[in-house]
A and B are shown apart, each in its own frame.
Chain A
Amino acid sequence: MELFNQTWNLFKKEILLEWRSKYAFNGVLLYVVSTVFVCYISFNLTPGFTGSTGYPVVWNVLFWVIMLFASVNAIAKSFIQESKSRLLYYYSIASPQAIILSKTIYNILLMSLLSILALLVYLLFFTNTIGDPLFYFLSVLLGSISFSTVFTMISAIASKAGNNGTLMAILSFPVIIPVILVLIRLSKSAMDGLERSLNYGNIGVLCAINVIVIATSLLLFPYLWRD
């Protein structure tokens, strides 16, 4: 109960801070929109691209690549933006599990909102027919949850190791590749409108990866924050 209260209060604090500045949200949203627009212009240099046979494959893969980089950028900030003294204050009033949980939940919320908006913007520029919109939507949500859980822990590690972006990328990409492989498979079959029951295995793998990552974060973060 103690843990729940602390997590809830820290989570409210995260939202409040974000609401005051709206920096992370707007920044990443602008990042996504710019990237989508750059891709749109670049791909339209080739006439007839939208009608070509590879279009649906490129459409799906491009969306996930954009989301991958957007989420790395969004979540890399979650520990770096905190000043050292403020972190020290949190650690004196809350348990480390509450800190990592609140950060993870906040990032899940942020990424879910962002990926829904990104999907809408993406659909606006790159028109495509999705066979099973509800299931595609579900895969996008699952994707943002998985990105958040993995990147929150990695950004905690990277922020302890000198805050550089290279390290964040090196550490997170091997971990995120299996996730993104499953996601692309899942969303592609949702796009093609295949039978839903074929994908329960993929959803199971994603949930299992998330459970493993959250469990290891909860176990390992208490060792990480102590300096």
Chain B
Amino acid sequence: MKFIYQTWWKVLAVVLIFYTLIAGFLFHVPTLPILHETIRNLYFHVPMWFAMLAVFVISVFFSIRYLNSGREEDDLAAVECVNTGMVFYLLGLVTGMIWAKYTWGEFWSGDPKQNSAAIAFLLYCAYLVLRNSIDEEQKRAKIAAIYNIFAFPIMIVLLFILPRMTDSLHPGNGGNPAFGKFDLDSHMRIVFYPATLGWCLFALWIATIRYRIRLIENKRNNIN
């Protein structure tokens, strides 16, 4: 766990995000009908989902580790990763909705991708409700870990598999092209990949700070 106390990757996250902010608005993008400049949303909307996915994957990792080890720290790491993931989830949804207003015409048009995202949100809200419904710490940690591992593959099916099988309007789904098809000269890639990495690291940073706060709280509440 030395990694979370190091500084270099936090600096990297900040640098990458500032690079995204500047390059994302100034660099050349392909000119396409309907999309026009909204294609730049790719640099802000998609990295939110990748950041969410990154912290959720880490959360599942810690849930599995909790079931094997029974250490309370692993449970705290898992729940704080989910909490952070929920924030990025909402940001991803909101950026997507603003984009949809200008390209699809409505904030919420009942697209399969949007509906799936809403259901996945309920799935993780249920996780938080389940946690709060149990008082005993160890039992809560165990059952929450089990539900977290159970919910993760279903979230993947909802967000990344089901919309691909239907007539979703979302780019990359339902036979629609994703950005890779138009980005022939790789102008967008040099912004998109750093943006994804930057936001993932940023999400991880928030999660580690929350985790460390929880550790301190735990220490203060301990009866010695």
Contacts and interface: CB of A to CB of B under 8 A. Distances in A.
B123 A224 contact: no
Given A174-B122, A175-B151, A205 B146 contact: no
Most buried by A among B126, B130, B139, B151: B126
B158 interface: yes
B143 A212 contact: no
Interface string A155-186: 00100111010010011011101100110000
Interface string A180-223: 01100000000000000000010001001100100011011001
Contacts of A201: 165
B119 A177 contact: yes
B157 A178 contact: yes
B23 interface: no
Contacts of A175: 123, 150-151, 154
Contact of A170 (B129, B146, B162): B129
B133 A167 contact: yes
A139 B153 CA distance: 23
Interface residues of B, number: 27
Given A167-B130, A167-B133, A223 B146 contact: yes
A153 interface: yes
Given A170-B126, A175-B154, A162 B120 contact: no
A130 to B, nearest CB: 24
Most buried by A among B133, B145, B158: B133
Contact of B119 (A178, A208, A209, A224): A178
A216 B150 contact: yes
A209 B123 CA distance: 16
Interface string B140-169: 001101110111011001100110010000
Contacts of A208: 157
A178 B116 contact: yes
Contacts of A217: 150
Contacts of A205: 161-162, 165
A220 to B, nearest CB: 5
A99 B205 CA distance: 42
A209 B119 CA distance: 16
Nearest to A177: B119
Nearest to A212: B153
A219 B130 CA distance: 20
Contact of B123 (A153, A174, A216, A220): A174
Contacts of A178: 116, 119, 154, 157-158, 162
B149 A224 contact: no
Contacts of A167: 129-130, 133
Given A178-B116, A205-B165, A209-B157, A157 B133 contact: no
Nearest to A162: B133
Closest 8 CB pairs of A and B: A174-B123, A174-B122, A223-B67, A170-B126, A177-B119, A220-B146, A212-B153, A171-B126
27 contacts: A153-B150, A157-B143, A157-B150, A161-B130, A162-B133, A162-B134, A170-B126, A170-B129, A170-B130, A174-B120, A174-B122, A174-B126, A174-B154, A175-B123, A175-B150, A177-B119, A178-B116, A178-B157, A178-B162, A205-B161, A205-B162, A209-B157, A212-B154, A217-B150, A224-B143, A224-B146, A227-B139
Interface of B: 67, 116, 119-120, 122-123, 126, 129-130, 133-134, 139, 142-143, 145-147, 149-151, 153-154, 157-158, 161-162, 165
